[in-house]
Structure 1
Amino acid sequence: MNQIGGLIFLIAVFLFSTFLNWYVFQSLKTLIADLESIKVRNFSFTVYWVVFTGITFWVVFTFYSIFKAGEISTEHQQVLNVFLTLIVTQLVCVIFLFGEDIVRNFQAGLSYILNGKEATTFPSRVKWLSIVALTVSLVPLTSFVYGITKGKYNFTVHKETLYFDDLPEAFDGFTITQISDIHAGSFKNYEAVRKGVDLAMAQNSDLFVFTGDLVNHYAEEIEPMLSIFKEIKAPYGQFSIIGNHDYGDYGSWDSPEEKVANFKKFKDQHKRLGYRLLLDENVKIQKDGQEITLVGVENWGVGFQSKGDLEKALEGTSKEEFKVLLSHDPSHWDREVKRNSNKIHLTLSGHTHGMQFGIETPILKWSPVQYRYPNWAGLVEESGRYLYVNRGFGFHAFSGRVGIWPEITVIELRKK
């Protein structure tokens, strides 16, 4: 982001936060309006504005530090946690207050029409509605607190069984465990990570795949957990690809050579993990004299670096082969994969994290990320070609998960 764009963003954050602070302040004024002690009221108002204005400046300064450093540190993440928790909590409160203001303005307008200007009065805020607004706001507040402390380690297994006419007989019942987006630099609780890895290993799948974003910025971020993730083994191998964060594009480098060395080290880390890194290439998975083709591309994404070369990765394959593609960004499936003349039966992606915030129930599935990615979590099918988007194992920027839990995916292939 250039300097002018960054300045506009910082001003927008300050103004928006101040607006929310002012609106929520209306609830506080309504609740304590009946207090007899003016000193108590003024003290409460002063404390409110000192605290929330201080948080606003703290957040703006943090965004400035992120722009200046070019990366999001652990300390930055803590501030972003406070910012997102506060913003969502205040927005819920403001929805009630804004609705009330619409009614109040309508009542005042109707009074003006019926009674004239002199007899028009503007209705006061209703105390009970402010109580409801603040009470309901406790729901997102507690949800974010849980998501920051516990939810980001609430590893959940999602299972899908997919049926294909042309799946080789030997692979009927073949299982694939997928994890994605470890973002190793964000983890501090390694015991929690081990529990997630143990859960992945407990699926006892035939094949293991990792679909990118091993680190946030630097190759060494995975080193404290190498011994944990290298425990993942599968009878037919462990395979991985590159995500947009893995290139080091979001890190700070003293020289181009330092960045190149980091990327070389990153690729070496996959060897140490025991994962075969697929770089625009394919490999045959053989079982009982039959085979399927596993294809892996470098990152290709709309709005992100598009280094992946699908045609190169498919070299040597035929249209008749059963193919599984590993591609980090699900936008790749929309743009290049699902209509490719060389049919790819199943694509496994990650990248979106489900934005680490949303609602998933049997009735409702929503996350803000859906306005950027139409296929942001779970399974989608078009003309017999499937995409599965993993919700991510780790977290980044916002170091928590609210409603969108870290995922371990198990895909079972079946022959119709």
Structure 2
Amino acid sequence: MNNRLLIFMGIFISLVIAIDLYAFKGIRLITENIRPLYRQISIGSFWVFNISVYAALAWLILNFDKFRLPEYTNIIFSINALILMSFVTKLVFNIFHGADDILFLISKTFGTKVSFPGEGMSRGKFLTLMGAGLATIPLSAFAYGYSKGRFNFRVIRKELSFDNLPSAFDGLKVIQISDIHIGSFPKGHGSVEKAVDLINSKKPDVIFFTGDLVNNYASETDGWIEVFKKLKAKHGMYSILGNHDYGDYAQWNSQTEKVANLDNVKNANKDIGFDLLLNENRVLEKDGQKLGIVGVENWGLPPFPQYGNINAAKANLSDDVPFKILLSHDPSHWDAEVRQHKDIDLTLAGHTHGMQFGIEIPGIRWSPVQYRYPRWAGLYEEGKQKLYVNRGFGYHAYAGRIGMDPEITEIILRSKQKNV
């Protein structure tokens, strides 16, 4: 572990302890007048939970070198979720508990008395109790995100109309999935097979998978190939690679070992039944009319690699292919390059996961990931070109999804020519 990381961990641990000690001050305040036994249980439970978090954090630090190994993924992502839950819950609690101390400092500094309208309860205790109540919101959200949210697959349906979609493809049903990250799922977890059944129940014409089958290692697919082989689509299944599929984030004994891993990831795509497009294209033909499917390798803004090549991917597509769908893992590719290619009508991407955290309700659509990726989830349009960003099938970094359920996208293509 390098010195910079040690310094960071030292600061982080100091911050965690400071937050816990301040939260303990608040716990003592709101339990001061309850029966001694109940107070001891409350305080004891607080520290048992915190000691569990410290133990988990210590385990992470001691096993940092194993961070990306498949056999440790589930426990590490679960610990990350526990630490996030603990940190955010106590942060909310401390904001309200600390409000009284801030008001006290203001009154002492400026000689201004800040009054409290309540009777029978101190201002500090009232605010602390309010903080305790509000802290149950993130506590419940993280608990739900871990226990159910990450497995709660939803189908989002979109109808997209295009001037130049050949009439023969009007009503074509496309299913898009992205960011499976299969190594994050507990081995044999039934949610994956249920998701596959859900996809098949839609009777798709085409299935597109827009990358990140694994976290790092091809071995993560062991035991899962047979599950995904059950996917069926009338006109075929097509896939591309995502940034995680290349093994760039793992440590390898040699370049040969890394290349072999990538080859095995490619083979896993093919074993599932995907036609893996590596800067390549395919043409669907129906009633003498054609639709182009273009797939690029991963292209991302730095520090992500740029393996994708649109020109190579479109090579040899004839002029009688009037409509093209591009599969590109990273949505930042769309603004950086794709929009300059006016013959790309629809781009399908993933990568962001919606950060596995956000709010999407009528009138409010927010996730922290939008500050890194302006086009982070859902449909975007510029002129006649459209981009759809899938919120992801799996999860990564922490075991949970809060307000950002795993997504299966159902897209119905509509031809305006059909209605002329």
Quick check: TM above 0.5?
yes
- Are residues 1:152 and 2:150 paired? yes
Task: Provide, for residues 137-186 of structure 1, a one-character-per-residue CA deviation record: whole Å limited to 9, x for no partner.
Answer: 11211221121111111000001111111111111111210011111111
Which residue matches 1:119? none
Alpha-carbon contact 1:30-1:125 (below 8 Å) kept:
no
Give the length in aligned residue pairs.
405
User: Aligned match of 2:136 in 131, 135, 138?
Assistant: 138
Task: Provide, for residues 104-130 of structure 1, a one-character-per-residue CA deviation record: whole Å limited to 9, x for no partner.
Answer: 3333344x268xxxxxxxx97521221
**Aligned 1:334-373 pairs, distance under 5 A:** 334-338=335-339, 340-373=340-373
CA apart distance, 1:64: 5.6
CA apart distance, 1:91: 2.2
CA distance in 1, matches of 2:266, 2:45: 52
In the alignment, structure 2 segments of 5+ residues that lack a partner are: 114-120
Structure 1 residues 57 and 323, CA, compared in 2 at 3 Å: closer, same or farther? same
CA distance in 2, matches of 1:68, 1:197: 31
Q: Which amino acid aligns with 2:409?
A: T
What SS class does the counterpart of residue 279 from structure 1 fall into?
A: coil
Which residue matches 1:296? 295
Structure 1 residues 409 and 35, CA, compared in 2 at 3 Å: closer, same or farther? closer
CA distance in 2, matches of 1:124, 1:15: 30
Task: Provide, for residues 189-221 of structure 1, a one-character-per-residue CA deviation record: whole Å limited to 9, x for no partner.
Answer: 432111111111111121101010101121121
Which residue matches 2:211? 212
Structure 1 residues 54 and 174, CA, compared in 2 at 3 Å: closer, same or farther? closer
CA distance in 1, matches of 2:148, 2:286: 41
Alpha-carbon contact 1:14-1:57 (below 8 Å) kept:
no
Which residue matches 2:383? 383
CA distance in 1, matches of 2:296, 2:169: 23
CA apart distance, 1:7: 2.2
CA distance in 2, matches of 1:108, 1:26: 21
Q: Which amino acid aligns with 1:82?
A: L
Structure 1 residues 36 and 214, CA, compared in 2 at 3 Å: closer, same or farther? closer
Which residue matches 2:117? none
Alpha-carbon contact 1:242-1:299 (below 8 Å) kept:
yes
Which residue matches 1:223? 222
Q: CA RMSD in A?
A: 2.6
Alpha-carbon contact 2:169-2:413 (below 8 Å) kept:
yes
Which residue matches 1:267? 266
**Which moved further from structure 2: 248-257 or 206-215?**
248-257
Which residue matches 1:325? 326
CA distance in 2, matches of 1:54, 1:150: 22
CA distance in 1, matches of 2:216, 2:55: 27
Alpha-carbon contact 2:99-2:127 (below 8 Å) kept:
no
Which residue matches 2:17? 18
CA distance in 1, matches of 2:98, 2:335: 39
What SS class does the counterpart of residue 388 from structure 2 fall into?
A: strand
**Which moved further from structure 2: 323-332 or 125-134?**
125-134
Which residue matches 1:120? none
CA distance in 1, matches of 2:153, 2:103: 44
Q: Which amino acid aligns with 2:206?
A: L
Q: TM-score, normalised by structure 2?
A: 0.88
**Which moved further from structure 2: 265-274 or 96-105?**
96-105
CA apart distance, 1:33: 3.4
Q: TM-score, normalised by structure 1?
A: 0.89
Report the identity percentage. 44
Task: Provide, for residues 295-314 of structure 1, a one-character-per-residue CA deviation record: whole Å limited to 9, x for no partner.
Answer: 10111111312211122112
Structure 1 residues 341 and 389, CA, compared in 2 at 3 Å: closer, same or farther? closer
CA apart distance, 1:238: 0.3
CA apart distance, 1:47: 6.8
CA distance in 1, matches of 2:101, 2:337: 48
Q: Which amino acid aligns with 1:248?
A: G
CA apart distance, 1:233: 1.4
Which residue matches 1:394? 394
CA apart distance, 1:327: 0.6
CA apart distance, 1:334: 1.9
**Aligned 1:96-175 pairs, distance under 5 A:** 96-110=96-110, 112=111, 126-175=124-173
Structure 1 residues 193 and 130, CA, compared in 2 at 3 Å: closer, same or farther? same
- Are residues 1:256 and 2:255 paired? yes
Structure 1 residues 382 and 342, CA, compared in 2 at 3 Å: closer, same or farther? closer
CA distance in 2, matches of 1:12, 1:336: 40
In the alignment, structure 1 segments of 5+ residues that lack a partner are: 115-122
CA distance in 2, matches of 1:197, 1:49: 42
